[in-house]
Protein backbone atom coordinates (compact mmCIF):
# COMPACT_ATOMS: atom_id res chain seq x y z
CA UNK A 1 0.00 0.00 0.00
CA UNK A 2 1.40 3.51 0.47
CA UNK A 3 1.02 6.24 2.99
CA UNK A 4 -1.36 6.15 5.94
CA UNK A 5 -4.89 6.96 4.78
CA UNK A 6 -4.29 5.89 1.19
CA UNK A 7 -7.00 3.88 -0.47
CA UNK A 8 -6.06 0.44 -1.84
CA UNK A 9 -6.46 -0.52 -5.47
CA UNK A 10 -6.51 1.65 -8.57
CA UNK A 11 -7.82 4.76 -6.76
CA UNK A 12 -4.72 5.42 -4.68
CA UNK A 13 -4.36 8.68 -2.85
CA UNK A 14 -5.72 10.43 0.17
CA UNK A 15 -9.38 9.94 1.12
CA UNK A 16 -11.60 12.51 -0.61
CA UNK A 17 -9.35 12.65 -3.67
CA UNK A 18 -9.96 10.77 -6.88
CA UNK A 19 -8.05 9.92 -9.99
CA UNK A 20 -8.84 11.79 -13.20
CA UNK A 21 -5.83 10.70 -15.22
CA UNK A 22 -3.36 7.97 -14.36
CA UNK A 23 -1.67 9.00 -11.13
CA UNK A 24 -3.39 12.39 -10.86
CA UNK A 25 -5.54 13.08 -7.80
CA UNK A 26 -7.77 16.11 -7.43
CA UNK A 27 -9.81 16.77 -4.30
CA UNK A 28 -13.42 17.91 -4.53
CA UNK A 29 -12.43 21.10 -2.72
CA UNK A 30 -9.94 21.89 -5.50
CA UNK A 31 -12.64 21.47 -8.15
CA UNK A 32 -14.95 23.77 -6.21
CA UNK A 33 -12.19 26.37 -5.84
CA UNK A 34 -11.28 26.26 -9.54
CA UNK A 35 -14.93 26.55 -10.57
CA UNK A 36 -15.30 29.56 -8.25
CA UNK A 37 -12.21 31.20 -9.80
CA UNK A 38 -13.54 30.67 -13.34
CA UNK A 39 -16.98 32.01 -12.33
CA UNK A 40 -15.31 35.11 -10.86
CA UNK A 41 -13.03 35.65 -13.86
CA UNK A 42 -15.95 35.26 -16.24
CA UNK A 43 -18.15 37.66 -14.23
CA UNK A 44 -15.39 40.29 -14.11
CA UNK A 45 -14.53 39.86 -17.80
CA UNK A 46 -11.03 38.60 -17.02
CA UNK A 47 -11.79 35.38 -18.94
CA UNK A 48 -13.71 35.34 -22.20
CA UNK A 49 -14.93 31.84 -23.05
CA UNK A 50 -14.41 30.82 -26.66
CA UNK A 51 -16.91 29.08 -28.96
CA UNK A 52 -15.80 25.61 -27.86
CA UNK A 53 -16.23 26.57 -24.18
CA UNK A 54 -19.75 27.79 -24.85
CA UNK A 55 -20.59 24.77 -27.00
CA UNK A 56 -19.56 22.34 -24.25
CA UNK A 57 -21.38 24.42 -21.62
CA UNK A 58 -24.57 24.60 -23.70
CA UNK A 59 -24.55 20.82 -24.26
CA UNK A 60 -24.21 20.22 -20.52
CA UNK A 61 -26.71 22.98 -19.66
CA UNK A 62 -29.31 21.33 -21.91
CA UNK A 63 -28.71 18.04 -20.14
CA UNK A 64 -29.11 19.73 -16.73
CA UNK A 65 -32.41 21.25 -17.90
CA UNK A 66 -33.83 17.71 -18.12
CA UNK A 67 -33.66 17.58 -14.32
CA UNK A 68 -31.22 14.68 -14.28
CA UNK A 69 -28.02 15.03 -12.26
CA UNK A 70 -24.79 15.71 -14.11
CA UNK A 71 -22.78 12.56 -14.70
CA UNK A 72 -19.31 11.71 -15.93
CA UNK A 73 -20.54 10.27 -19.23
CA UNK A 74 -22.40 13.48 -20.11
CA UNK A 75 -19.25 15.51 -19.48
CA UNK A 76 -17.13 13.19 -21.61
CA UNK A 77 -19.74 13.29 -24.39
CA UNK A 78 -19.79 17.10 -24.36
CA UNK A 79 -16.00 17.20 -24.54
CA UNK A 80 -16.04 14.75 -27.46
CA UNK A 81 -18.26 16.98 -29.61
CA UNK A 82 -16.56 18.27 -32.76
CA UNK A 83 -14.71 21.43 -31.80
CA UNK A 84 -14.88 24.76 -33.56
CA UNK A 85 -11.63 26.34 -34.74
CA UNK A 86 -10.34 26.83 -31.17
CA UNK A 87 -10.37 23.98 -28.62
CA UNK A 88 -11.98 24.21 -25.18
CA UNK A 89 -9.90 26.45 -22.88
CA UNK A 90 -7.29 24.53 -20.90
CA UNK A 91 -8.72 25.63 -17.53
CA UNK A 92 -12.27 24.62 -18.40
CA UNK A 93 -11.10 21.36 -19.98
CA UNK A 94 -9.12 20.41 -16.86
CA UNK A 95 -12.04 21.36 -14.62
CA UNK A 96 -14.54 19.28 -16.60
CA UNK A 97 -12.21 16.27 -16.76
CA UNK A 98 -11.62 16.51 -13.01
CA UNK A 99 -15.36 16.76 -12.42
CA UNK A 100 -15.95 13.65 -14.55
CA UNK A 101 -13.37 11.84 -12.44
CA UNK A 102 -15.11 12.97 -9.27
CA UNK A 103 -18.47 11.77 -10.57
CA UNK A 104 -16.93 8.36 -11.35
CA UNK A 105 -16.16 8.00 -7.63
CA UNK A 106 -19.68 7.79 -6.24
CA UNK A 107 -18.77 7.75 -2.54
CA UNK A 108 -16.83 11.03 -2.91
CA UNK A 109 -19.29 12.64 -5.35
CA UNK A 110 -22.22 11.93 -3.04
CA UNK A 111 -20.51 13.49 -0.02
CA UNK A 112 -20.97 17.13 0.99
CA UNK A 113 -17.68 18.31 -0.58
CA UNK A 114 -18.41 16.43 -3.81
CA UNK A 115 -21.93 17.83 -4.11
CA UNK A 116 -20.64 21.35 -3.42
CA UNK A 117 -17.95 20.97 -6.09
CA UNK A 118 -20.45 19.72 -8.69
CA UNK A 119 -22.87 22.54 -7.77
CA UNK A 120 -20.15 25.11 -8.45
CA UNK A 121 -19.31 23.48 -11.79
CA UNK A 122 -23.02 23.60 -12.71
CA UNK A 123 -23.15 27.31 -11.79
CA UNK A 124 -20.19 27.91 -14.11
CA UNK A 125 -21.87 25.93 -16.91
CA UNK A 126 -25.05 27.97 -16.47
CA UNK A 127 -23.10 31.23 -16.69
CA UNK A 128 -21.21 30.13 -19.81
CA UNK A 129 -24.25 28.67 -21.55
CA UNK A 130 -26.29 31.82 -20.95
CA UNK A 131 -23.54 34.27 -21.90
CA UNK A 132 -23.41 35.88 -25.30
CA UNK A 133 -20.41 35.50 -27.59
CA UNK A 134 -19.53 39.17 -26.97
CA UNK A 135 -18.80 38.29 -23.32
CA UNK A 136 -22.00 39.53 -21.66
Cα separation, 26 vs 17, whole angstroms: 5
Lowest mean pLDDT among 2-11, 68-77, 95-104: 2-11
The 10 Å CB-count burial string (b at 16+, else e) for 53-66 is bbbbbbbbbebeee
Look at residue 83 in the predicted model and tell me its pLDDT.
67
Does residue 136 lie within any of the structural domains?
A: no
Cα separation, 125 vs 113, whole angstroms: 18
**pLDDT surpasses 90 at 127:** yes
Percent of the chain scoring above 90 in pLDDT: 62
Does residue 107 lie within any of the structural domains?
A: yes
Name the pTM for this structure. Answer: 0.77
Does residue 73 lie within any of the structural domains?
A: yes
Q: What is the DSSP string of 41-78?
A: HHHHTS----HHHHHHHHHHHHHHTTTPPP-HHHHHHH
pLDDT band at 14 (very low <50, low <70, confident <90, very high): very low
Closest CA to 109 of 70, 77, 64, 68: 70
Closest CA to 54 of 132, 117, 109, 120: 132
Helix (H) or strand (E) holding 19: strand 17-21
Does residue 116 lie within any of the structural domains?
A: yes
Cα separation, 130 vs 136, whole angstroms: 9
Does residue 104 lie within any of the structural domains?
A: yes
Please count the residues of the chain. 136
Does residue 15 lie within any of the structural domains?
A: no
Look at residue 132 in the predicted model and tell me its pLDDT.
78
Does residue 17 lie within any of the structural domains?
A: no
Percent of the chain scoring above 70 in pLDDT: 77
How many separate domains does the chain show?
1
Does residue 18 lie within any of the structural domains?
A: no
Structural domain of 116: 25-130
Look at residue 81 in the predicted model and tell me its pLDDT.
79
Cα separation, 98 vs 101, whole angstroms: 5
Residue 3: CA count within 13 A, CB half-sphere: 5
Amino acid sequence: MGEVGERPGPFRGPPGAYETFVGMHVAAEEIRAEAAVLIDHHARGAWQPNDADRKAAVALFRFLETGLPLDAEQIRSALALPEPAAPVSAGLLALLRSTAGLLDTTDVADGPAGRDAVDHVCLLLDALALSRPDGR
